[in-house]
Amino acid sequence: MNAAFLAFAHLRWHWARSVVMVLVAAVILAVPLVSQTLLRGSEQSLTARADATPLVLGARGSQIDLVMGALYFGEDRAQPVTMKAAEAVWESDLALPIPLNTMFTASGARIVGTTLDYFSFRGLEIAQGRRFAVLGEAVLGASVARRLNLSPGDTIVSAPENLFDLDGVYPLEMTVTGVLAPTGTPDDEAVLTDVKTTWVIAGIGHGHQDVVAEGDDPVTASAALEQYNRITPDNIDSFHFHGAPEDYPLTAVLIEPYDTRSETILRGRYLEPENPLQLVVPSDVVDRLVERIFRIAALLDAVAGLVGLAAAAAVALALFLAWRLRAPELDTARRIGAGRGMILRLAGAEIAILLGAALLMAQGIVIVVQSRSNTLLTWLIAQ
C-alpha cells in the first residue's frame, strides 16, 4: 500500500513523463488489438455483404473492382455497362436484375442510382419519410443523414464532376424523401435515388424551357434557355432523355436468380472470354480478397510486433534511466531503513500503475474503434 502511495505520488509529480510513457505503452498494446478488431470486422463485413449478393454482372475486367464498386460503392469501379445488359437478364426470365449507377457523389456520399427492388433485396427499412417515387428524389443512408443533419424535405446537391467542362455534368439538387434505418453496411453511407435521376445528373436527361413557346415572344434555343437544376412538380414534365434507353450507362447489375437452376444457366451465358460482360459470384471474389488481406496482415503484424518491441524497449530504457536519476532518493531510503524488497515493490508499483493506465487506455481505444468499426470499415472498404 505504501509502495503504491509513493509510486502514485511520484508518477503524479512527474505527470508529463508519466503521460508520455502511458501513451506509448497504450499505443503498443492497442495497435495489435485494433488491427485485429478491424481485420476481423472487415472480414465479417466483406463476407456478409458478399454472401447476401448472389451474382454481379458487369464489364469484363477486374473482378475485385466490379464487386467492390457494386457492393461497397468503392472509388475504383469497373468499366460501365449499359441498360441493355440488365434488360437481357430481365428478358431471360431467370433472375431479377437490379441496375446500379454509382458514378456520382453528393456531399462526400456515393449516389446510388437503382430501382425500388434494391430496398427489398437489401432488406432496407425506412426510418423517416418514404422511398423515392419520382425523378429527383433521394433516400439517405443513416450515416449520411446524421453527418449532414438532413431529414425528409431537405435537399442534397450532387457534386460537379468537372468545373471546367461547360458541356458536362451539372449539379442536381435532389429532394430528400426518406432516411434509412441504420444497417451497419455501406448503405448507411449512400444516397439512394432512381437510376433515371443519375442519368439526369449525367446529362443524358434534362429539363428546360420549351423552345417553341406560344405568343409573340418565343424563347429560342440559345444561352438564354434556362436549364433546370432542380426537378419540381412544375418542371418535371419538361424532363426528357436523349438517345436509346438500352445505351444508358450503369456501373453494375446486381442479379438475384429465381432458383439454383436459373443461376447455373445464367452463369453459363457469360463464360466465354469474348463476351464483354462477366457474371461473378461476389463471395468467391471476396474470399480470395480476404485471403490476400490476411496474408498481408500477418506480415504487418510481424512488423508491428518488431516496432512494438522497439517501443517497449524504449519505454523500459526510459524507466531504467528514471530510476538511475532517483539514486539519491533510493540511497536515502536505504539509509532510513528500506530494504531491497521495498525498492523492488516501489519499482513494481510504478510499472504496475503505468501498465494499468496503459491497459485502460488501450482498452478505451479498442472500445472506441469497436463502437465506430461499422462506419470505419465502411469508409475503409469504400476507399
Partner 1 sequence: MIDIADLDFAYPRGGFRLDVPRLTIERGARVAVVGSSGTGKTTLLNLVAGLQVAARGHVTVDGQNLSALSDTQRRAFRARRIGFIFQNFALMDYLNARENVLYPYRIAPGLVLDDAVRARAEALATACGIEDRLDRHPGALSQGEQQRVAICRALVTRPGLILADEATGNLDPHTKTLILDLLFERAAEAGATILAVTHDHALLPRFDRVIDFSELRRAA
**Which residues contribute to the site for partner 1 (CB under 8 A)?**
2, 5-6, 9-10, 12-14, 328-329, 332-339, 342, 346
Min dist. Cβ of residue 336 to partner 1 (A): 5
Q: Which is nearer to partner 1, 6 or 134 (CB)?
A: 6
Q: Which is nearer to partner 1, 311 or 333 (CB)?
A: 333
Min dist. Cβ of residue 361 to partner 1 (A): 22
Q: Which is nearer to partner 1, 7 or 98 (CB)?
A: 7
Contact indicator for 249, 82 with CB cutoff of 8 Å: yes
Q: Which is nearer to partner 1, 22 or 100 (CB)?
A: 22
Q: Which is nearer to partner 1, 227 or 332 (CB)?
A: 332
Q: Which is nearer to partner 1, 17 or 372 (CB)?
A: 17
Q: How far apart are CA 377 and CA 122, in angstroms?
A: 18
Min dist. Cβ of residue 329 to partner 1 (A): 6
Report the 10 Å Cβ neighbour count for 320. 11
Min dist. Cβ of residue 29 to partner 1 (A): 26
Min dist. Cβ of residue 319 to partner 1 (A): 16
Min dist. Cβ of residue 13 to partner 1 (A): 3
Min dist. Cβ of residue 359 to partner 1 (A): 24
Q: Which is nearer to partner 1, 295 or 334 (CB)?
A: 334
